[in-house]
Amino acid sequence: MIIIRRLIVPLAMAVVTAHAGVAFAHDAIPAPPAQSASADECMKGYVPLRAEAEQRGKLIKTASERHAPPEEACRLIANFGQAEIKMIRYVESRAATCGISPQLAEQLKTGHMHTVNMQKKVCEMAQGRQPYGPTGDFWTLPEKQI
């Protein structure tokens, strides 16, 4: 159990930070259509959200490197998930005016689903529960000799 705990938390945090990089590409929001908002206006709202998510991702990575306890990892992953939600909402609400491809929103949503799954596993560990696998007493008793 201890070995699993030591491996799951860093692995979970590594997965969260790995998928985060895809959504944070600097060219994530293309130039908007000519009749709509300017690229500067579009990026003005997106860049701070991306920076916040990147910062929270870095906190997860740092915690992973120092083998943070599951309770801390749970909180950090939850905070990262909130930053992802803000980005998703921004991208969805500005897709038409900023010319944002639907693929970006889908990438963000897919990444967020991974975050939610990892958060669930890590937070279950933080609460002292096994996130998955068999539980209970699996010792078998010897059969009676007749």
Q: What are 100-114's pLDDT values in tens digits?
A: 888 999 999 999 999
Q: What is the mean pLDDT of residues 21-49?
A: 69
Extended strands (E) in the chain: none
Residues in CB range of 31: below 8 A, 6 or more apart: 39, 99
- Domain 2-25+36-126 is found in CATH 1.20.120: yes
Residues 4, 130: Cα–Cα separation, whole Å = 10
- pLDDT top residue among 53 and 15: 53
pLDDT of residue 4: 47
Q: How do the domains of the chain map onto residue ranges?
A: 2-25+36-126
Residues 117, 112: Cα–Cα separation, whole Å = 9
Residues 112, 20: Cα–Cα separation, whole Å = 9
- pLDDT top residue among 48 and 3: 48
Between 39-65 and 2-23, two packed helices, what is the crossing angle to 10 degrees? Answer: 160
